[in-house]
Amino acid sequence: MESMDLEVLNTSARWLAEGQRVLIATVVRTWGSSPRPEGAMLAIRGDGLVVGSVSGGCIEDDLIDRLKRGEIDMARPSVARYGVAAEEAHRFGLPCGGTLELVLEPLGRASGIDALCDGLANGALIARTLEMATGRASLAPAAATDGVRFDGETLVTVHGPRYRMLIIGAGQLSHYLASMAVGLDYRVTVCDPREEYTDEWNVPGTGIVRSMPDDAVLEMKLDPRSAVVAVTHDPKLDDLALMEALKTPAFYVGALGSRRNNAARRERLREFDLSEAELARLHGPVGIYIGSRTPPEIAISILAEVTAAKNGVSLPTMLRVEAAKAARERAVCGV
């Protein structure tokens, strides 16, 4: 869950406690290009105050206007669709061909928002099932791979902790990587036992730990919403993190280094009794090939690959650093 959507739920619960009318709009389907993904939420108070987002702003304005004019059913959930026709897509600022389908849910006692917020505060991953006919909602444990489901009768949304990223090493590259990851809404932890690096760490919104990397991996209890990126170039640190991280369900585990160093790393990791299946999960050399040279460019390359893994996108072979550099060398040599 993005922190903005968590803010939607917490704010909605507070508004309800204050006796306000509250409507939550949830993106349940998208066609073509869309400004916000499925599961994105917007809460509108009866007086038009909003938190969250489902578009670039025009849809929000339309929903506020419709709510104030009494055109939205506040007795039970309903469905709204925007951008079906080209002129409507243009009117609401949707990309060409973009369409959004929203569930509009008036909140009440049966909504279970307080219980949902309590569960999220305790770090739980929760599936919320909304009955469209009655407006009643129920909560149940969810798996990290679950997503939004809507069949016209029930809406299932998944709510839980933010995605996490553990970065091994607190050097210059890590500063850019951590800053960008925070911007992508990761909860970032940087691990480095070297005082000469951690004493000057000052990236806002990140945490720093000075334990050994293998201990940090174990203490974080990595789950399918976790990513690990090792960037120290020091095998004594990177390998410690990787040998434990590759045994976890983390969705991404990668390490910085050249193709030669990556091959040597894999041989070293075999000595830690990692299986071939576990070694196959290692992304290295880390990132996608964009010709990056500077630390911020390398950080962009890494986060592009992490984002693809997070979204279940299989990258073409020629975008991978190892294959792209090999092809480039063959071209230079005229092979």
- Whether 15 has a pLDDT exceeding 70, the answer reads yes
- Fill in the DSSP letter of residue 216: H
Which whole-number Å values give the CA distances from 155 to 134, 137, 257, in the listed order?
12, 9, 45
Q: How many helices (H) and strands (E) does the chain have?
A: 12, 15
Helix (H, G, I), strand (E, B) or coil at 321: helix
Cβ(285)–Cβ(259) below 8 Å: yes
Residue ending a domain, choose from 98, 130, 159: 159
pLDDT at 28 over 60: yes
> In this predicted structure, what is the pLDDT of residue 83?
74
The mean per-residue pLDDT over the stretch 149-162 comes to 91
Is pLDDT above 60 for 61?
A: yes
Whether 218 and 183 share a structural domain = yes
Q: Are 151 and 174 in a shared domain?
A: no
Residues 225, 166 contacting (CB under 8 angstroms): no
Give yes or no for a contact between 255 and 282, defined as CB atoms under 8 angstroms apart: yes
Query: What burial letters (b/e) apply to 243-272, b meaning 16+ CB within 10 Å?
Result: bbbbbbebbbbbbbbeeebbeebbeebeeb
CA 8/CA 51 separation, integer angstroms: 6
What pLDDT, in 10s, does the model give residues 159-204? Answer: 987 789 999 999 999 999 999 999 888 999 999 999 999 988 999 9
- Into how many domains does the chain fold? 2
Q: Are residues 107 and 146 in the same domain?
A: yes
Cα separation, 263 vs 261, whole angstroms: 5
pLDDT of residue 254: 96
Q: Which of these three, 142, 159, 176, is where a domain ends?
A: 159
Query: Are 263 and 317 within one domain?
Result: yes
Residues 144 and 191 placed together within one structural domain of the fold: no
Residue 66 lies inside a defined structural domain of this protein: yes
Tell me if 238 sits within 8 A of 255, measured CB to CB: yes
pLDDT band at 122 (very low <50, low <70, confident <90, very high): confident
Q: Are residues 174 and 138 in the same domain?
A: no
Determine the structural domain holding residue 302 and report its residue range: 164-326
Other CB atoms within 10 Å distance of the CB of residue 42:
25
Rounded-to-integer distance, Cα 260 and Cα 297, Å: 21
**Does 27 share its domain with 58?**
yes
Using pLDDT thresholds of 50, 70 and 90, give the confidence band for residue 33: low
Q: Indicate the pLDDT class of residue 67, thresholds 50, 70 and 90.
A: very high
Residue 34 burial (C-beta neighbours within 10 Å; 0-12, 13-18, 19+): buried
Q: What is the mean pLDDT of residues 78-106?
A: 72
The secondary structure element, H or E, covering residue 135 is none
How far apart CA 46 and CA 189 sit, in angstroms, is 39
**In which element (H, E) is residue 106 found?**
strand 99-106
**Mean pLDDT, rounded, of the chain:** 87
Side chain identity, residue 317: T
Shared domain check, 188 and 139? no
Residues 126, 88 share a domain: yes
Q: So what's the pLDDT on residue 55?
A: 79
Is the domain of 186 the same as that of 124?
no
- What confidence tens digit (pLDDT) does each residue in 250-287 have? 999 999 988 888 889 999 998 888 889 999 999 988 99
Domain end among 113, 128, 159: 159
Same domain? 169 vs 316: yes
Residue 107 CA to residue 23 CA, distance in Å, equals 6
Check whether residue 73 and residue 14 sit in a common domain.
Answer: yes
Q: What percent of the chain has pLDDT over 70?
A: 86
